[in-house]
Amino acid sequence: MRISRLLLFALLILAIPATSLAQFGVSITIAPPALPVYTQPMVPADGYIWTPGYWYYGDEGYFWVPGTWVEPPSSGLLWTPGYWGWGDNAFAWNEGYWGQSVGFYGGVNYGFGYGGSGYGGGYWNNGAFNYNTSVNNVNTTNIHNVYNKTVINNTTNYVSYNGGTGGITSRPTAAEETAARGQHTPATAMQIQQVHAATTNHALLASVNQGRPAIAATAKPGEFSGSGVVAAKKAGAAYKAPATESKAAENKAAESKATENKAAENKAAESKATENKAAENKAAESKTTENKASENKAAENRAAATRANENKAAAKPKEASPSAESKKPTAARTEPAPKPAASHKEPAPKPTTVAHAQPAPKPTALRAQPAPKPAADAHKPAAHAQPAPKPATEKAPGKDESRE
């Protein structure tokens, strides 16, 4: 949220006319804390210009943007710091800018050459920036374009805003108003990066550091660690958290607690849902297994019944065949004539016509009888006159009796 707001500010700064930059910014009814007391890190290289730190406002209240050395957009430009100003019953932040001269910055004593009006930290000469060593931390061994001029600096006033209750009462001079109407260049990308880095550092919140940030200044933008970082010596004044800020902190803590509770509830609900789903899946699998077993058992029973029926059906023809075979011998038994005809006592036991009418299954047995030749018997008229072998059988005993 902070980053998106700052990006929006940067886009708007580029879009609006330079003359209206001093009136642009966020507004809040709470006054910013006093400026912290800190020392300036050493200038990293020739051509860098100091931009002082300031309090900015975000979703969690005021947070400190550390002061830092910055390369200007082009040579010959100076930095006019931003400031908080009271108007229309609220504090509004007036953005800083680059220009040929330093304009009005609310009379706020930022130090290091920004004593409240103008700039005493240095000047441009033939494309090179000359540093005033009385207010700047410069290594004169590496940087030679230096000078020393005393700058009167009120070190007892660390108020960070203009107007309102307890604010600075300074008004812009004619020269500063002229500078405000001149051509301006907005903050560089490195300066915006410095603000972004500050928004992500919880320790820079005034409610956390009590007006005494551990990172008060940096040698370069965005470098919040290392030897170039300077901590505040002390707060500019006793810090008193505004009632709204305390309420915001309480609300945030309540929201955080509610979020944690909600997360715990959601986790418990998800765990319960997972367990229920696992139980349902297990029950479904068990039911499926039981149904499958039942289906398999039923299929086995049907297969067994089918096999039993097939076996039973296959067994029925075998049981019927003996009766059919028995009928054939019965038909043969109804004709007892062949047996007596086979006897040696009767030369003509069976006429030829009777032999063709008899479907006896064993003709070979009849041919095996040592009876007299049937062809000779066929010429006898008595054989053709007999309709069946019985009369011949009845006559046979008579012949036997006569033989006896």
Q: Which two tokens stand for residue 319?
A: 């049981």
Q: Which two tokens stand for residue 214?
A: 């551990």
Nearest to 99 by CA among 209, 40, 14, 187: 187
CA distance 195 to 65: 6
Lowest mean pLDDT among 110-119, 138-147, 271-280: 271-280
Q: Which two tokens stand for residue 224?
A: 């919040």
Residue with tokens 């005494």: 212
Three-class SS string for the chain? Answer: CHHHHHHHHHHHHHHCCHHHHHHCCCEECCCCCCCCECCCCCCCCCCCEEECCEEEEECCEEEEECEEEECCCCCCCEEECCEEEEECCEEEEECCEEECCCCCCCCCCCECCECCCCCCCEEEECCEEEEECCCCCCCCCCCCCEECCCCCCCCCCCCCEECCCCCECCCCCHHHHHHHCCCCECCCHHHHHHHHHHHCCHHHEHHHHCCCCCCCEECCCCCCCCCCCECCCECCCCCCCCHHHHHHHHHHHHHHHHHHHHHHHHHHHHHHHHHHHHHHHHHHHHHHHHHHHHHHHHHHHHHHHHHHHHHHHHHHHHHHHHHHHHHHHHHHHCCCCHHHHCCCCCCCCCCHHHHHHCCCCCHHHHHCCCCCCHHHHHCCHHHHHCCCHHHHHHHHHHHHHHHC
Which one is predicted more confidently, 93 or 285? 93
pLDDT tens per residue across span 200-257: 999 999 999 999 999 999 999 999 999 999 999 999 999 988 765 555 556 666 777 7
CA distance 335 to 359: 10
Say what the pLDDT of residue 389 is.
52
124: confidence class by pLDDT, cuts 50, 70, 90: very high
pLDDT tens per residue across span 243-287: 655 555 566 667 777 778 888 888 888 878 888 888 888 888 878
Question: Helices 189-199 and 2-15: crossing angle, nearest 10°?
Answer: 160
226 within 8 A of 68, measured Cβ to Cβ: no
95 within 8 A of 72, measured Cβ to Cβ: no
CA distance 53 to 65: 5
Mean pLDDT value across residues 89-113: 96
Q: Which two tokens stand for residue 296?
A: 């398999």
The model carries a pTM of: 0.58
Say what the pLDDT of residue 113 is.
96
For the beta sheet containing 217-218, the strands, ordered from the edge strand earlier in sequence to the opposite edge, are 49-51, 67-70, 217-218
The torsion angle over the Cα atoms of residues 112, 115, 116 and 121, rounded to 10 degrees, is -60
Lowest mean pLDDT among 50-54, 288-292, 341-345, 347-351: 341-345
What are the angstrom distances between the C-alpha of 394 and each of 197, 211, 347, 403? Answer: 144, 155, 14, 15
Nearest to 181 by CA among 104, 266, 269: 104
Mean pLDDT value across residues 68-78: 97
Mean pLDDT score of the chain, rounded to an integer? 78
> Strand pairing partners for 55?
64
What are the angstrom distances between the C-alpha of 193 and each of 4, 69, 81, 277? Answer: 13, 13, 16, 50
Q: Which two tokens stand for residue 191?
A: 């300066």
CA distance 93 to 175: 21
CA atoms within 13 A on the CB side of 313: 6
What are the angstrom distances between the C-alpha of 380 and each of 52, 376, 386? Answer: 163, 8, 11
